[in-house]
Amino acid sequence: MVAGEVRADAGTATVAAEAEPALPDYGGACICNVVPALLEPGPEPPAWLPAPAVDAERVVLLLLDGVGWEQLQARPTVTPTMTAMVGGPIATVLPTTTATALTSLTTGTPPGEHGVIGYRVSVEGEVLNVLRWSTRKGDARPTMPPGAMQPQPAFAGQRPPVVTRAEFATTGFTGAHLEGGRFRGWRMPSSLVTECAQLARAGEPFTYAYYDGVDKVAHEYGLGEHYDAELAAADRLVAQVLDAVPAGTCVVVTADHGQVDTGDDVVAVAGEVLAHVSYQSGEGRFRWLHARPGRARALRDAAEAAHGHQAWVRTRDELVDGGWFGPRVTAEARSRLGDVALVAKGTIAFTEPTDGGPYVLIGRHGSATTAELLVPLLAGRA
């Protein structure tokens, strides 16, 4: 299935094991093409670009982390503002994870070109947590400079204002995907609204803003009552931005990935598989297995036998040749991939001892289901 082929009403399906993985159309309705369409519009706007965004004098692009199209469509009563906006679903990238998707959004390139090809990425034998920009040895900025690992320019080399959390100002990941943007930090959502309004009133033609509340709540609480409450808060945030910016400003809303509620549907990689594994990278729903020397084929066979009913088991070559990361995969990006991937079906997540955080994850993402791959692209004018 290619995500660009879905209908605009595709959001009501439950999260069930899909027969085939959903893959992005990297040349079409994909998050990696949104910023180029807004910053450098051609004579013919793409059909998937919502009409209010075409020829707008000013644009505020608001990224709502973790708001999938299917989750949004299932909750129209808690999202009246977004429900009333013009637009539909587009695809994010693979893996469906924040580090990869935000880098594709800002650089306008697929993961195979920018090389931030997951949340926990193998770099010369070390596993880099991209969001923390750290390895088991600690801060990786001195040894893995963000600009060297991700050389693609953000925002086509332009320097638009970037409105995001103030504490992100000096992080490695900010350096990797927002380098050159004029940083405007916020600590409370109301400040995000105020910053966007001030910039639009000052005549900024393009502003990028980022809000991460929905993703945080989904990770900790799943897709139940807490999620609905936070999604409603995010919808009010969109309404506040629309109310605050000057008339004629277009507010475009999109997201980096959707979610599934894994709950306690988590499994460890089988012992007979781990016998062939040197280490693991990736995340629970897109787990990379790095083979011990000479055991790549045995690893593939063992993984298929043990987990083929729970995951799409693919080798590195199968994913690269199948275009999962875009039509071109650089040598640097390819070197960061494992030998075999477990791409989770249904709601399963694969645990790994070194992949943890301050709480148990309930909502997750990363895999190639439509619940995770499809995100909104909506627009409205003030």
List, for residues 166-211, the tens digit of each pLDDT value.
999 999 999 999 999 999 999 999 999 999 999 999 999 999 999 9
User: Over the stretch 267-310, which tens digit does the pLDDT of each residue have?
Assistant: 999 999 999 999 999 999 999 999 999 999 999 999 999 999 99
Q: What is the mean pLDDT of the chain?
A: 94
Higher pLDDT, residue 334 or 10: 334
Q: What pLDDT is stored for residue 17 in this prediction? A: 60
Mean of pLDDT values over 162-167:
98
Q: Which long-range contacts (CB under 8 A, 24 or more apart) does 112-115 make?
A: 112/320, 112/325, 112/326, 112/327, 112/328, 112/329, 112/330, 112/333, 112/334, 113/152, 113/326, 113/328, 113/329, 113/330, 113/333, 114/150, 114/152, 114/333, 115/149, 115/150, 115/330, 115/332, 115/333, 115/336
What is the band of 359 on the pLDDT scale with cuts at 50, 70, 90? Answer: confident
The answer to whether residue 16 scores a pLDDT higher than 70 is: no
Res 7: pLDDT: 28
Which tens digits make up the pLDDT trace of 213-270?
999 999 999 999 999 999 999 999 999 999 999 999 999 999 999 999 999 999 999 9
The mean pLDDT value for 91-108 works out to 98
pLDDT category of residue 41 using cuts at 50, 70 and 90 = confident
Domain with CATH 3.40.720.10 in the chain: 3-260+366-381
**CATH code of domain 266-357:** 3.30.1360.180
Average pLDDT rounded to a whole number, residues 360-365: 95
Chain region(s) in the chain for CATH 3.30.1360.180: 266-357
How far apart, in Å, are the Cα atoms of 30 and each of 206, 257, 331?
A: 19, 11, 23
Q: Whole-model pTM? A: 0.94
Give the whole-number percent of the chain exceeding pLDDT 70: 96
Q: Mean per-residue pLDDT for 323-351? A: 98
What pLDDT does residue 309 have? 97
Angle, in degrees to the nearest 10, between helices 213-221 and 225-244: 180
pLDDT for the residue numbered 6: 33
pLDDT > 90: percent of the chain:
91
Residue 356's pLDDT is 82
Domain at 3-260+366-381: CATH architecture: 3-Layer(aba) Sandwich (3.40)
